[in-house]
Amino acid sequence: MARYPERSRADRQDAIVARARCGHKHYQMNPFIQNLLENAFRIGIRIDGFRARAMGRLTVRRERRIRKGFESRLARRYREALFAMDRFMLETRESGVQHHSRTRIAAEADQDQLYVALVRLHARSCLVATEIRALIYSGHASGAMTRWRTLHELTVTAQLLKKHGEEAARLYLEHAALVTSKRAKDYRNYQERLSLEPINEENF
């Protein structure tokens, strides 16, 4: 029986490698060789890390080029529909801004809660619309449809408040205040764990 049956023939041909791999108790590696091997191992790790980072950068650049080409083709193919959507979004936003600038002072003097609620819903709808636009331009149709349903819910909410008047608007704003308060409490509870800046007592 061979003395070291677990070794391969190549290991037996090289006693140093074989004993180092098998952990031979009588073998003591030359300090110079051991230091040389350790340095080579460290250099190999650094080279592999550099190669991984370089390949990562190349992969990201290639993916960005592919994504940019796709978005350019999509914009050319649906340019008329996308232009109409952008124009509609811009006109809707600007009309809301102009109306708010004309009626804001009078609404604040009358403490018109319905006006405040509708303005907030309009602003949130404009934000959701820009999210839909970004998803459409990047080709994420399912995500755009999801945000479109949110936009529809905001529209229904605005119509409901307009139908039922001041009382419904008051309840809506009070509920929004409760949601904001809950979020502020959650923020305060986890601010230290998440390394966030604390909310001062006056704002809280």
pLDDT in tens, 62-117: 888 999 999 999 999 999 999 999 999 999 999 999 998 898 888 888 888 999 99
Domain extents in the chain: 12-61, 79-190
CA distances from 23 to 13, 26, 31, 117 (A): 16, 9, 16, 77
For range 180-198, the mean pLDDT: 83
Select the more confidently predicted residue: 134 or 204.
134
The pLDDT value given to residue 128:
96
Buried/exposed 147-164: b ≥16 CB within 10 Å, e otherwise: bbeebeebeebbeebeee
More confident call, 120 vs 108? 120
pLDDT (tens digit per residue) in 149-161: 999 999 999 999 9
pLDDT at 117: 93
Residue with the larger pLDDT of the pair 134 and 40: 134
**Cα torsion 97, 103, 105, 108: sign:** negative
C-beta of residue 114 within 8 angstroms of C-beta of residue 167: no
Q: What is the CA radius of gyration of the chain?
A: 33
Residue 42's pLDDT band (cuts 50, 70, 90): low
Give the pLDDT confidence score for residue 39 in this predicted structure: 67
List helix spans (H) across the chain: 9-13, 15-22, 31-77, 79-110, 113-137, 141-164, 166-190
Mean pLDDT for the stretch of residues 170-192: 86
Most confident of 132-146, 168-182, 186-200: 132-146
Cβ atoms 147, 135 nearer than 8 A: yes
CA 31 – CA 59 distance, rounded (Å): 42
Using CA atoms in the order 162, 167, 169, 174, what is the torsion angle rounded to 10 degrees?
Answer: -170
